Amino acid sequence: MECQDYGLSRTLERENLNLNPLQRGGLLSAKAREALYEFGDGYSVCDYCAGRLDEVAKPSINGFLEDLAKFINVDAVRTVHGAREGKFAVMHAMCEKGDTVLVDGNAHYTTHLAVERNHLNMIEVPNNGAPEFEITPEKYRETLENAIDQNKNVKLALLTHVDGDYGNLTDAKQIGKICKDAGIPVALNCAYSMGRLPIDAKAMNMDFVVGSGHKSMAASGPIGVLGMKEEWADLLLQRSSRHEKKEIEMLGCTSRGAPIATLMASLPHVIERVSKWDVEVEKTRNFVSQMEEIDGVVQVGMRPTEHDLVRFETPKFHEIADKHPRRGFFLYEELKKRKIVGIKRGQTQWFKCSTYGLSQKQVDYIARSFQEIAKTAI
């Protein structure tokens, strides 16, 4: 059988400045690229496994998990195949069919799918609408109290730490306390925060935290992180009655090979860069300021932004697109000429982007490029 050419080459990061928020935090460290080569073969970390991935000592997965637990301040931690699998596992262990989960209105679609797959009911905490689209502690408390008063059988609350639409950083500590005072366990989705900014699960009153290695922790993935308080470890990490070493919610083992090897290799790099989070926020705010010099361009979401993911309303570029021979594709093509990628083809009314990890010189170049395109594209 002769196979087709699958196009397995990628020069995006080597040749361009990538503004895709999905990818900025997932760029591998130099050590992780070495680990990718060493552990690219399937099941490559399982050479010395005696049945428990978290107990493997060569490579030191057990030591890595200890360090990871300290990094996010949890009592127990496991790697999973992504943040979505972490959320699903928590819901599956904590709830029974027909129970209710409280979810913020800015939650990622995978939160909704996890609820559906577990056959649970969902109550959403609405955001406060345009232009902030913020999930406030007051609205979270009101929605939770109403659900409890109406006997909705709320078994679990979930909060998105930073949402993927607006980059809003929620007040996790306050909302965690609200849930704690109500006696409702709470999980924090840190897919856009763990590995970018400091996470202290206990200080934020969280029972569970989930993160994304490939989105925010410089790992090749797919891989996620699931951390928990000790009081839930026996339930969530319950062993099989038939295969005594295997944890049921983890389906025995989770991430093997390159995903966990690259996450392990990048952890020192991630710990170091988290200490510079204030610099990233300031750089993003500077970028917003330069972008808003363009007529009609405005950042939506909480202001000033507290995260590197930002969303812009861009009527100026949409106005140009209406008259441009390439229509909505002009912005993507003009940016590509300048070696800037990450804005979706055909998107001109609004877009999301991130400058995380780029130098100030690169950020200034990107902002100038947008300004030049706005002046000269027609």
Find tokens 């797959």 and name the residue.
117
Q: How far apart are CA 262 and CA 33, in angstroms?
A: 7
Q: How far apart are CA 308 and CA 199, in angstroms?
A: 16
Please report which confidence band the pLDDT of residue 378 belongs to, taking 50, 70 and 90 as the band edges. low
How do residues 272-292 score in pLDDT, each as one tens digit? 999 999 999 999 999 999 999
The arithmetic mean of pLDDT across residues 310-327, rounded, is 92
Express as a percent the part of the chain with pLDDT over 70: 99
Please report which confidence band the pLDDT of residue 267 belongs to, taking 50, 70 and 90 as the band edges. very high
Check pLDDT > 90 for residue 92.
Answer: yes
Residues 6+ apart with CB under 8 A from 103: 111, 112, 115, 122, 123, 124, 125, 157, 158
Beta bridge partners of 187: 158, 208
Which pair of structure tokens corresponds to residue 188?
Answer: 């924090």
How do residues 55-78 score in pLDDT, each as one tens digit? 999 999 999 999 999 999 999 999
Residues 6+ apart with CB under 8 A from 178: 137, 140, 141, 144
Which pLDDT does position 4 carry in this prediction? Answer: 85
Which pLDDT does position 8 carry in this prediction? Answer: 78
In the CATH scheme, what architecture does the domain 276-376 have?
Alpha-Beta Complex (3.90)
Check pLDDT > 80 for residue 226.
Answer: yes
Report the range of poorest mean pLDDT among 36-50, 126-140, 254-268: 36-50
How do residues 177-221 score in pLDDT, each as one tens digit? 999 999 999 999 999 999 999 999 999 999 999 999 999 999 998
Which pLDDT does position 196 carry in this prediction? Answer: 98
Q: How far apart are CA 335 and CA 78, in angstroms?
A: 40
Q: Crossing angle, helix 258-274 and helix 61-72, to 10 degrees?
A: 40
- Whether 311 contacts 21, CB under 8 Å: no
What pTM was computed for the model? 0.95
Q: Give 75: exposed, middle or buried? Use CB within 10 Å, 0-12, 13-18, 19+.
A: middle
Residues of the chain with CATH 3.40.640.10: 30-273
- Whether 192 contacts 169, CB under 8 Å: no
Does the domain made of 30-273 have the CATH classification 3.40.50.720? Answer: no
- The number of beta carbons lying within 10 Å of the beta carbon of residue 367 is 20
Provide the mean pLDDT of the chain.
95
The arithmetic mean of pLDDT across residues 91-107, rounded, is 98
Residues of the chain with CATH 3.90.1150.10: 276-376
Q: Give 222: exposed, middle or buried? Use CB within 10 Å, 0-12, 13-18, 19+.
A: middle
Please report which confidence band the pLDDT of residue 299 belongs to, taking 50, 70 and 90 as the band edges. very high
The arithmetic mean of pLDDT across residues 350-378, rounded, is 94
How do residues 2-16 score in pLDDT, each as one tens digit? 888 878 777 877 889
Check pLDDT > 80 for residue 346.
Answer: yes
